[in-house]
Structure 1
Amino acid sequence: MAPSVDGRIVTASWKLPSTLYAEYERTARTFDADAWMIGRVSMAPYAGKASIPKRKVAPVPRKDFIARRDAGSYAIALDPSGKLRWRSNDIDGEHVITVLTEKVSDAYLAFLQSKGISYLFGGRSDVNLKRALEKLHQVFGIKKLLLEGGGKINGSFLAADLVDELSLLIAPVADGSIDTPTLFDAGAVPVARRLKLKSVQKRSGDLVWLRYTRAR
């Protein structure tokens, strides 16, 4: 993640040079991850706005659909209600996987299949994140996953104690906004987790790269 010094993650008003984004990609590549995951809202600009046919379709079994399992890397969306309107089954060559719940409509599942988009079910009405990660490993061989925001999905993973390492590229900005997404938005129930500092680096553009591991 690339938050401000006060933990905000909405970058639109920061007016930062492209240095931040270049450093973000450079530091992310050092993890040599098999896949990256973001939530529905963050994924929407990547997915696009394809039309979903409104015609009635035959019932679709609530079984995982695997369109491809041999991709070099994967782009994963957490979309419990099935709202993303995918134009394509890949993002810059990375095969798309979407994690759903069984409450999605038959029409939406038929739409995903027609696009060649893989999907996994994470639960009946809510996603069990641990089970979803187990499936991603078992089916696609994903061992290392970059979780790249926003605050709600980060908070959900934190609450489920599924964060092994935290990589922060601190932007040289004090945001000060009220009621905007932060690095972790886990809700009203406290989920504080102890971390252990792994490294600190100064990067170009007045950026600081902090790495923490989960203190067990």
Structure 2
Amino acid sequence: MRRVKRPYVICHMVPSLDGRIVTKGWKLSSSALAEYERTARKFKADAWMIGRISMEPYAGKAKVPVRKVSRPIPRTDFIAPHEAESYAIALDPSGKLTWKSNDIDGEHVITVLTEQVSDDYLAFLQARGVSYLFGGKTRLDLEQVLGKLRKAFRIKKLLLEGGGKINGSFLTAGLIDEVSVLVAPLVDGSIGTPSLFDASEGKGAAHPLRLVSFEKRRGDLLWLRYKPKR
């Protein structure tokens, strides 16, 4: 079966030595934190993508008004007018982010929904000038989402910076083209917190990788780049 034309996806993350990704409490140095953004810029990506919880601090909070007119809104993609050349993408299947703006540091906001979201929420996004794409009726079809991002916004290279479940879903679907990790100089030691890839309960399928490069960076970080063996 012919695969959808989609962006090149790079999963770019900062895990601990034992693979944990919740950085709160790690007390990383300012130089180490700067290295994450510095290395991310080297990819010259057109967009970055995270999940709803991670996006909340960026989205802010605004009230979703109840519409006076009850006419249904078609479940078709909405591309808001914008002049941005780069994009901030949120995976928000249930439509819970209450956007204050359609812009994050000059990057146009795109939110990815399922068709279960309410008409009031769609009207709110349109009024805010936030672009949205539908990724499925009740669950997101990630390959379909990537195809739409490529076609509608001409996104050719995407940084995936999600939580463990989002990263794991992309990995399982075979949609990650490169893994870029800045290994933090610490061991987290926690049990039950998200890891780099939380693909399945219990023992999951292994995904072999080949090493592309390694480099010591500031703050005692080790930058590793891998590509899947296919």
Same fold, judged at TM 0.5 (above): yes
Matched, 1:182 2:195: yes
Q: Are positions 1:199 and 2:213 aligned together?
A: yes
1:73 maps onto 2:86 in alignment = yes
1:35 partner amino acid? A
Written as runs of structure 1 = structure 2, the 5 A alignment for 1:3-18 is: 3-18=15-30
CA–CA separation in structure 2 for the residues paired with 1:81 and 1:171: 33
Q: Which runs of 5+ in 2 are unaligned?
A: 1-12
Give secondary structure in 2 for the equivalent of 1:27: helix
> Conserved in 1, the CA contact under 8 Å of 2:180 and 2:225?
yes
Moved over 6 A (4+): none
Partner of 1:128: 141
The answer as to whether partners of 1:69 and 1:139 remain within 8 angstroms in 2 is no
Q: What letter corresponds to residue 102 of structure 2 in structure 1?
A: N
In the alignment, which residue of structure 1 is the partner of 2:3? Answer: none
Partners of 2:153 and 2:81 in 1: CA distance: 9
2:167 maps to which residue?
Answer: 154
Structure 1 residue identity aligned to 2:27: K
Describe the superposition over 1:113-168 as per-residue Cα deviations: whole angstroms up to 9, x where unpaired. Answer: 00000000000000000000000000000010000121111011011110000000
Corresponding residue number in structure 2 for 1:208: 222
Could you say what secondary structure the match of 1:205 adopts? helix
Query: Could you tell me which of 131, 151, 154 is aligned with 1:118?
Result: 131
The answer to whether 1:31 aligns with 2:43 is yes
| Offset from partner CA, 1:68-93 (integer Å, 9 cap, x none) | 36421000000001011111001001
Residue 174 to residue 129, structure 1, CA distance change in 2 (3 Å): same
- Root-mean-square deviation (CA, aligned residues, Å) is 1.2
TM-score between the two structures when normalised by the length of structure 1: 0.97
Contact kept? 2:32, 2:220, Cα under 8 Å: no
- Aligned: 1:163 with 2:187: no
Structure 1: stretches of 5+ with no match in the other structure: none
Asked if 1:63 corresponds to 2:63, the answer is no
Secondary structure at 1:88's aligned position in 2?
A: coil
| Segment of structure 1 superposing worse, 15-24 or 89-98 | 15-24
* Higher mean C-alpha displacement, 62-71 vs 33-42: 62-71
SS in 2 for 1:139: helix
Alignment of 1:41-60 (within 5 A): 41-55=53-67, 57-60=70-73
How far 1:191 sits from its partner (Å)? 3.5
TM-score normalised to the size of structure 2?
Answer: 0.91
The amino acid across from 2:135 in the alignment is G
Provide the secondary structure at the position in 2 that maps to 1:41: helix
Q: State the structure with bigger RCO (CA 8 A, min sep 6), 1 or 2.
A: 2
C-alpha offsets along residues 1-38 of structure 1, whole Å, 9 cap, x if unaligned?
00100011111111111112100011000000000000
Distance across 2 between alignment mates of 1:34 and 1:15:
30
Q: How much has 1:192 moved relative to structure 2? A: 2.2
**Deviation at residue 55 of structure 1 after TM alignment:** 4.1
User: Structure 1 residue 54: deviation in Å?
Assistant: 3.2
